[in-house]
């Protein structure tokens, strides 16, 4: 089975073609990071990355059997680029689109396993905490056991509040944004963004079973900045 994996929930725009056999195996990967001056270029980078995957592997998009997309949590603007692109490609190619939690995919890569619950725990004691930048001086987070099974979250809150939960969550390692790991004083133990193999690994059981995917619901975890006006401004004297 050939799977196109996409994620735009973090500053890293990720795209990959993955062969789902006994385990997910990446055939080609593109991961582009936003620059300090232009941190959000998801709309510019995603589809060129998909075209580059096809050119590198010599495979046409028409050979894709399914699409897996990271549904966040993530900031609104970047996240909707990946989900809308996945939905459009799925419709055009007539293939199923599976949404997965981006933090679940990061956790799989950090734990060094291919699917949730696999019997190969991460190195080091304690649980895994996945943390990504939510902006507005907050972070998105979720906690996992050593087999990458989610224990708590995803949630959004200030990093100082999250720091007070480390003992309660029995955290031993942090994956995701290394800046927050340093701030929390916990060892960094994984990637800072979802990998294509991780994204496909989260959805692997559903893909193999041929299950009909649920509609992809973005995990914004908070309301957008823009709000609908409550009244009309008077323009006459």
- β-pairing verdict for 171-176 and 127-135: parallel
Is 104-184 the same fold as 2-102+194-209? yes
Of 193, 200, 212, residue with least CA distance to 69: 200
> In CATH terms, is domain 104-184 a member of 3.30.420.200?
yes
Q: How far lies 70's CA from each of 1, 20, 100, in Å?
A: 19, 17, 5
Q: State the chain's mean pLDDT as an integer.
A: 88
Q: Write out the two tokens for 196.
A: 């294509």
Pairing of strands 66-70, 97-100: parallel
| Residue in 64, 141, 66 with CA at minimum distance from that of residue 102 | 141
CA geometry: angle 87, 17, 194, nearest 5 deg: 75
SS3 171: strand
Architecture (CATH level 2) of domain 2-102+194-209: 2-Layer Sandwich (3.30)
Give the whole-angstrom CA distance, residue 31 versus residue 132: 16
Q: Is 201 helix (H, G, I), strand (E, B) or coil?
A: helix
Q: At 25, give phi and psi (nearest 5°).
A: -135, 120
> Where do the structural domains in the chain lie, given as residue ranges?
2-102+194-209, 104-184
pLDDT tens digits along 183-205: 777 888 788 899 999 999 999 99
Asked if 141 and 130 touch (Cβ cutoff 8 Å), the reply is: yes
Position 179 scores a pLDDT of: 82
Q: When comparing pLDDT for 100 and 23, which is higher?
A: 100
pLDDT category of residue 122 using cuts at 50, 70 and 90:
very low
Q: Is the pTM of this model over 0.75?
A: yes
Q: pLDDT value at position 58? A: 97
ω before 154 within 30° of 0 (cis)? yes
- Residue 89 φ then ψ, to 5°: -65, -40
């Amino acid at each position: 089975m050939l799977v196109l994996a996409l994620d735009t929930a973090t500053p890293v725009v990720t795209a990959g073609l993955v062969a789902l056999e006994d385990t997910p195996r990446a055939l080609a990967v593109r991961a582009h990071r936003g620059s300090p001056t232009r941190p959000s270029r998801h709309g510019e980078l995603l589809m060129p990355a998909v075209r580059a995957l096809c050119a590198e592997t010599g495979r046409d998009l028409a050979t894709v059997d399914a699409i897996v997309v990271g549904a966040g949590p993530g900031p609104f603007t970047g996240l909707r680029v990946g989900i809308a692109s996945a939905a459009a490609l799925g419709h055009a190619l007539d293939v199923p689109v599976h949404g997965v939690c981006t933090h679940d995919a990061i956790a799989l890569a950090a734990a060094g396993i291919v699917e949730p619950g696999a019997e190969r725990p991460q190195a080091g004691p304690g649980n895994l905490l996945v943390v990504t930048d939510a902006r507005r001086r907050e972070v998105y987070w979720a906690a996992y056991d050593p087999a990458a099974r989610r224990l708590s979250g995803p949630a959004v809150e200030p990093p100082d509040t999250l720091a007070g939960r480390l003992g309660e969550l029995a955290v031993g390692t942090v994956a995701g944004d290394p800046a927050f790991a340093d701030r929390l004083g916990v060892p960094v133990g994984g990637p800072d963004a979802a990998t294509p193999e991780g994204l496909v690994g989260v959805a692997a059981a559903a893909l193999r079973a041929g299950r009909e995917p649920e509609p992809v619901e973005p995990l914004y975890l908070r309301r957008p900045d823009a709000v609908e006006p409550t009244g009309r401004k008077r323009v006459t004297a």
